[in-house]
Amino acid sequence: MPENESHQDIARTISRLVLQLYRQRRSYMNTKLADTGLKGPMYMLLSTLDHVPGSSQDFMAQHIGIDKSGIARTARELEKLGYIRREIDDDNRRQYRMYLTEKGNEMLPVIRGYLSEWGRMLTKGLSEHQVLEVISLMEHMCKNAEQ
């Protein structure tokens, strides 16, 4: 730790930088996806459904880190746009399961492309070793934060 910085200052700086990256990615993706009707966390929900089809709204809230009401609103919007379909869960009639539609599946390569582009922009000028080190350090800090 640098001598002239307190733990509080370092925590504030790390939090500010992580938040700044989050906001910049959100702005980047919103701009890139503007003509599709997708905004905010919608692309994250579609991407998660690609990996975990039939996810519940509760699972999605935990996985993406958005409150349940936010997931419900996002899912309704995605359903109206034709990207997903929601089905009532047979085991829990108060819960919905979500699935990608054909339109949702067609959007996945577009989303992946923009996320790859973002990743290249983010890591420009860094070596592979530096990128892996940043990831390792961030994972370590996340584990520390869970305690």
- pLDDT tens digits, residue range 114-142? 999 999 999 999 999 999 999 999 999 99
- pLDDT tens digits, residue range 65-104? 889 999 999 999 999 999 999 999 888 888 889 999 999 9
pTM of the model: 0.84
Q: Give ∠ CA 32-37-40 in degrees, rounded to 5.
A: 70
- State the Cα–Cα distance between residues 113 and 29, nearest whole angstrom: 11
Side-chain half-sphere CA neighbours of 12 within 13 A: 5
Q: Domain coordinates of the chain in residue numbers?
A: 40-146
CB neighbour burial string for 82-118, b if at least 16 within 10 angstroms, e if fewer: ebbebeeeeeeeeebbbebeeebeebeeebeebbeeb
What is the identity of the amino acid at 145?
A
Q: How far is CA 87 from the centre of its chain?
A: 23
Q: Give ∠ CA 83-118-144 in degrees, rounded to 5.
A: 95
**The CATH classification of domain 40-146, taken from the options 3.20.20.140, 1.10.260.40, 1.20.1080.10, 1.10.10.10:** 1.10.10.10
CA end-to-end span of the chain: 21
